Structure 1
Amino acid sequence: MIQLDATDVLLINELQKDSKQSIKQLSEKINLSITPTHERIKKIEASGIIRKYVALVDQELVGKKFTVFCQVTLIKHQESSFKEFEKYIAPFNEIQEVSYIAGNYDYLLKIVLNDMKDYQEFIMHKISQLKVISNIQSSFVINQIKNETKIFL
């Protein structure tokens, strides 16, 4: 774990709110001059704490109105099966998140698509083609209550 001081935490929180703020704006908010603020940002980025900067897109405004959580169980619990599954699903842009989980299932996938028809096509022609999968169970999002990207420090 990387140790952060109070100023680093303030800076990271500000960047999480709006990463397009200027160095000048950030420096005013954390009470440092521009150069030390810039140096802290570079140090935080170099440490890997900030992995990348992204634009958050409103999925409904671009027609992606259907979110599904799929619980996937593999036939065998062996390293080769896990590797095969993870390699196979990696290129699918429809899949936003993949987590290897403990419990009744092996993986939890968050999939974002246009509609139920797209989901049916995705499952039938992509996911279910993989022979290491024994079971897929899906839950469909009715209404998203909270969706945060901020990590609270």
Structure 2
Amino acid sequence: MANEYIGASVFYFNAEGIEEKFVKSVTGLGIKNNATTDVRGSGKSGKVIRQNTPGQVEHNNVTITLNYNGDNSIYDWYLKCSKDGESREWDSNRKAVSVIGYAQDRSTEVIRINLTNCFPVSYTAPEFDASNNDLVTEAIEVAIEGFKIERSTKSLST
């Protein structure tokens, strides 16, 4: 199984207590080190000396699009964190989120991406269109504090 390519459509999603959701896509996962430009000073003949240094690390928000089946657990998570006009309990409702990619045998875990301290920042409700043949979806965008990518060869059968 060494160096096996992973199919982008062979994955699983879970978010501490929100499981067995059929996920269409997970997008936006990324990290950026925002370099700063610092003027160190001015030298002979007025020459400005600059030095780029590492700045604050910024994690992208992640968007999770799910096929909607009447289960409101994603919407309810959003409301617990962001209901307008009420106490926003986003800190106590943060979740660890995992996206797990499988080998083509669909039973061997090849990669696991663990997102830490996630809370929803936006929710897109199901949309309906009589001329569309696609399944109805909902989407949630989550802010994350970090992520870790782990390589795994764990089999579901063990």
TM over 0.5: no
Q: Which has the higher strand share?
A: 2
| TM-score normalised by the chain length of structure 1 | 0.26
Q: Which has the higher helix share?
A: 1
